[in-house]
């Protein structure tokens, strides 16, 4: 299973490049991630599997195999691996600015709307590549803001391929599989039918879009909270889009661009996967949204309208079917019902 061309590191190599695993930058179900430096000065991230890891050897090897065959500027690149002295580790490019999740909660240096839409578009490009250009195509299966990394130029790179799953979109529209993923992002159709498809990634990406718009997590802990789709639906039913927009942006955005991304998030989070767009359509819509923001950026005076633009109405139902009627809502917002586990 380790028959691929990337560089093979020994355990001593990892000790040397990480300074004996001194700089821990994160810990997850797989183990810990450390910053290291190669002999040519290139910074790397070393993802080392711990003995108590909830991510099994199968998932760890799957990530290694998947990373060796994906090559796109918006996906994290694998540099090498280690299987020495019972040590299993992946060495990949170091993405310095952390995760999108961290940036969305940064009050000191909040992301602008233009930055947010560009990050969304670049992430969508990475997913489009996985769905369309890989052979066989890959369903990523764990789309969330903590898996979208940002480099020094705030360019998006999708990381953590441990749950990715190959599928053949020319033969079958879905893969039957056990439920894996992150609560709050799971496709309700996947949750209820155990049928995974590329549209499951689209649903999760729609949740990411709502986080980008609102600055809220998928599950909102406030008394009026619940799942972000329900929260947004309730707010928009009153006809005021300003009430859902992240206040960290201080009103500096093109309102039509925000509406366009909001509508896209609604389509992505449709309860039925057949009604969701494909990732190539998502990329196109986000490109148009970014163009709208750029076109008004220089002339904006800071005032925005809190009413629906001409092509929207109060009767626009925003994903209420997802938040009110799905097994997903029952599983994560009310009292959890017995069902498949999620990572």
**Residues in the annotated binding site for ATP:** 47
Catalytic residue among 142, 201, 254, 321: 142
Neighbours of 255 (CB within 10 A): 21
Residue with tokens 């017995």: 338
Would residue 13 show up in a list of annotated catalytic residues for this protein? no
Strands (E), the chain: 7-8, 24-28, 31-37, 43-49, 78-84, 87-93, 138-139, 148-150, 156-158, 165-166, 175-176, 195-196, 219-220, 226-227
Q: Give the per-residue pLDDT at 195.
A: 79
> 21-43 burial, b if ≥16 CB within 10 A, otherwise e?
beeeeeebebbbbbbbebeeeee
Give the pTM. Answer: 0.81
Give all domains of the chain, ordered by start, each with its CATH number. 15-93 (3.30.200.20), 100-332 (1.10.510.10)
pLDDT of 158 reads: 94
pLDDT by residue for the chain (343 residues), tens digit each? Answer: 344 456 889 999 999 999 999 999 887 667 789 999 999 899 999 988 877 665 667 777 777 777 777 889 999 988 888 888 788 898 989 998 999 999 999 999 999 999 999 999 999 999 999 999 988 888 998 899 999 999 999 999 998 876 666 665 543 444 445 556 688 898 988 877 777 889 999 999 999 999 999 999 999 987 777 999 999 999 998 888 999 999 999 999 999 999 999 999 999 999 999 999 999 999 999 999 999 999 998 777 544 444 444 444 433 433 333 333 333 333 333 333 333 334 3
Rounded Cα–Cα distance for residues 44 and 155 (Å): 17
List beta partners, residue 99.
149
């Amino acid at each position: 299973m380790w028959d691929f061309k990337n560089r093979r590191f020994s355990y001593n190599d990892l000790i040397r490049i990480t300074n004996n695993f001194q700089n821990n930058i994160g810990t997850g179900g797989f183990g810990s991630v450390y910053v290291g430096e190669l002999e040519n000065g290139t910074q790397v991230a070393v993802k080392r599997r711990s003995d108590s890891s909830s991510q099994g050897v199968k998932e760890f090897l799957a990530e290694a195999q998947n990373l060796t065959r994906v090559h796109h500027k918006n996906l994290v690149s694998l540099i090498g691996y280690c299987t020495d002295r019972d040590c299993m580790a992946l060495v990949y490019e170091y993405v310095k600015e952390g995760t999108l999740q961290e940036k969305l909660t940064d009050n000191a240096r909040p992301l602008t709307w233009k930055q947010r839409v560009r990050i969304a578009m670049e992430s969508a490009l990475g997913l489009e590549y996985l769905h369309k250009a890989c052979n066989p195509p890959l369903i990523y299966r764990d789309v969330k803001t903590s898996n979208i990394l940002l480099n020094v130029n705030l360019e998006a790179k999708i990381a953590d391929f441990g749950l990715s799953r190959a599928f053949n979109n020319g033969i079958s529209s879905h893969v039957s599989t056990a439920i894996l993923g992150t609560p709050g992002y799971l496709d309700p159709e996947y949750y209820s039918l155990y049928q995974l498809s590329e549209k499951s990634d689209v649903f999760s990406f729609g949740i990411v879009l709502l986080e980008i718009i609102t600055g809220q997590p998928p599950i909102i802990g406030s008394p009026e909270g619940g799942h972000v789709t329900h929260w947004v639906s309730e707010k928009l039913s009153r006809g005021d889009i300003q009430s859902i927009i992240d206040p960290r942006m201080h009103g500096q955005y093109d309102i039509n661009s925000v509406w366009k991304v909001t509508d896209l998030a609604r389509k992505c989070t449709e309860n039925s996967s057949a009604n969701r767009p494909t990732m190539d359509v998502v990329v196109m819509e986000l490109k148009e949204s970014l163009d709208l923001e750029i076109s008004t950026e220089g002339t904006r005076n800071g005032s925005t309208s809190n009413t629906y633009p001409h092509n929207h109405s109060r009767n626009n139902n925003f994903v209420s079917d997802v938040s009110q009627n799905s097994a997903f809502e029952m599983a994560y917002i009310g009292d959890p019902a017995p069902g498949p586990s999620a990572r």
